[in-house]
Structure 1
């Protein structure tokens, strides 16, 4: 890992993302405090035993990524679906926020809603018959 890397660790049911600052610290969007902060790698990792680098096909140079991360230090606007740690890290690297976790959660919710709607419709048709 190196300065400016977008990194992630596995947590129970999700992954936590941040930007490696190259000095043993990580800039992260902490969901508990809801604040962007710089923490020691061990704090970022929590109970995780492995840190992975998230590869991006394109992005800013490492120094610019680190600068972008630092530019938002202290921000307190965490929102699970619209301003989370993955979106923050992706914004630092690419200049636009995105979250695969949020996309997958929304897709799953749509599938569940569609299945529920279909089940209700079938039940209504049975009652009419």
Structure 2
């Protein structure tokens, strides 16, 4: 991931979380190279495949989808199911990452998962070697 210049006056807060998630969703749609209509069709298809209702019996409407993406509309937000399907359809974790970062967490993916697993095992082995040295010194 490329370095990002942070804006001191535009940092995410609990008060801006809806706007920030919607901004991340908008960026994901732009980055996908698909039209909003194509993304909407994919959302409805995946929701139907997994038996998940996004909004009403007829699926997610274009109007509701546009409200999900409207950063000025703080009242209409997709459900957790909606965000999950959205992320799956577009192959992104950015909207979820926005929520997690606000709480001080971090989402890792790809090679970082293996690197974290290796690092944990490395430090476990290092601690065990230290314990072994201490036991040997007692003998």
Normalising by structure 2, report the TM-score. 0.29
Q: Which has the higher helix share?
A: 2
Normalising by structure 1, report the TM-score. 0.30
Bigger radius of gyration among the two? 2
Q: Which has the higher strand share?
A: 1
